Structure 1
Amino acid sequence: MSDHVHASHPAIVKRLRRAEGHLRSIISMLEGGRPCLDVAQQLHAVEKAVSQAKRTLIQDHLDHCLEETVGPLPLEQRRTIDEFKEITKYL
């Protein structure tokens, strides 16, 4: 399984652990009767953190695994792969 560990993975794990702790605090906020606006703002922050972790993972996968799969390509085919990787940033 270690062949699937990339340089970005420790940072992704760190981000997700922070989100996990933050989510636990949101649960406490709800149980403590905090205002819905406060809870919604914090949920939005956790959602963004998880979304960014996903985006980083996908980009890293494309940058490394796709490159290994396709190998060296002629310039015209290379442009297609580069455009594909670029457009995925808008997912």
Structure 2
Amino acid sequence: MNDQPHLHETHPEIVKRLRRAEGHLRGVIEMIENGRGCLDIAQQLQAVEKAIGQAKKTLIQDHLDHCLEDVVGVLPRSQRKTIDEFKEIAKYL
């Protein structure tokens, strides 16, 4: 395993989203323990899910945009098509 930190420009944004999800999740647990209504709980669970999903999407896109590009390097346009399509379709994950 590499001992060097692996940091990207988007990592602070990802941490911010995950901390938001963490706060929402703590709130959901508290809501359940306090007997809050299912609709309120479901809304908060949706917020947790969305925050985590956005963090994951940002991380994957960042990896494709930087790490994959570093490995692939400069390619002629004719050879980039598959890589560019892969990066584009990954946005739908």
Normalised by the size of structure 2, how large is the TM-score?
0.93
- Aligned amino acid, residue 87 of structure 2: K
TM-score by length of 1: 0.95
Q: 1:86 and 1:80 mapped to 2: Cα distance?
A: 10
Alignment of 1:6-25 (within 5 A): 6-25=8-27
Paired residue secondary structure (2:75): coil
The 1-side partners of 2:91 and 2:28 are apart by 29
Q: C-alpha separation between the residues in 2 aligned to 1:18 and 1:88?
A: 24
| Cα deviations by residue, 1:60-84 (Å, 9 ceiling, x for unpaired) | 0000000000000011111211111
- Calculate the aligned-residue CA RMSD, in Å: 0.7
> How much identity, in percent, do the aligned residues show?
73
User: In structure 1, what is the Cα distance between the partners aligned to 2:47 and 2:27?
Assistant: 12
Give 1:57's match in structure 2, choosing from 56, 59, 78.
Answer: 59
Report the Cα distance in structure 1 between the residues aligned to 2:60 and 2:42, rounded to whole angstroms: 27
Distance 1:87 1:76 in 2: 18
Q: Which amino acid aligns with 1:57?
A: L
Distance 2:16 2:50 in 1: 14
* Partner Cα distance (1:79, 1:67) in 2: 13
The residue type paired with residue 6 of structure 1 is H
Aligned match of 2:91: 89
